[in-house]
């Protein structure tokens, strides 16, 4: 399970890529495992090593599925190397496992005790929400880097 690995993040490092790999090619290879929020491709100067990329998935489970399924697979012409990338500090928290009766007001009440909330992105009935805090300190309450909090079984109705 990804939560058992202290290095696990929703960011994946993809190495040994062909120098001409495209974002479209990477998305096509990895999007079946989950929603990719960002793709960053690095192309060192010729002779300085192969290209590599960082893929940021919407949550840890998606990144873990992609890592397990794609390890050693060929993308373009090369078998890729894959691992977890470093987590980037963020003020944004992904909260999953929300029940259908969850309300915006209840989310605000539950999460404002950790710090001042800038915004909550939530559509009633969705199983997830994004909570944007004003400061990194408030968001750090949930652990470093990529913030992913599964609230399965917890009720947030007003």
Q: Note the pLDDT of residue 157.
A: 45
Q: Note the pLDDT of residue 145.
A: 41
| Domains of the chain, first to last | 2-84 (3.30.70.330), 92-150 (3.30.70.330)
Per-residue pLDDT band at 5 (split at 50, 70, 90):
low
Q: How far apart are CA 3 and CA 20, in angstroms?
A: 34
Q: Are strands 11-17 and 128-133 parallel, antiparallel or unpaired?
A: unpaired
Q: How far apart are CA 118 and CA 51, in angstroms?
A: 37
Q: How far apart are CA 71 and CA 74, in angstroms?
A: 9
pLDDT for 48 beyond 80: no
SS3 (DSSP) at 23: helix
Output the pTM of the full model. 0.57
pLDDT in tens, 75-90: 988 899 999 987 666 7
């Amino acid at each position: 399970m990804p939560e058992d690995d202290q290095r696990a993040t929703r960011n994946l490092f993809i190495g040994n890529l062909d120098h001409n790999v495209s974002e479209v090619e990477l998305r096509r290879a990895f999007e079946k495992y989950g929603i990719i929020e960002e793709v960053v491709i690095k192309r060192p100067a010729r002779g300085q090593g192969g290209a590599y990329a960082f893929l940021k998935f919407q949550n840890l489970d998606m990144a873990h599925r992609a890592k397990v399924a794609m390890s050693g697979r060929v993308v373009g012409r090369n078998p890729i190397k894959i691992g977890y990338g470093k987590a980037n500090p963020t003020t944004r928290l992904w909260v999953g496992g929300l029940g259908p009766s969850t309300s915006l007001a209840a989310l605000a009440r539950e999460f404002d005790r950790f710090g001042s909330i800038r915004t909550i992105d939530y559509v009633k009935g969705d199983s997830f929400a994004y909570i944007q805090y004003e400061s990194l300190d408030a968001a750090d309450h949930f652990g470093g880097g990529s913030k992913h909090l599964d609230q399965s079984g917890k009720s947030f109705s007003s």
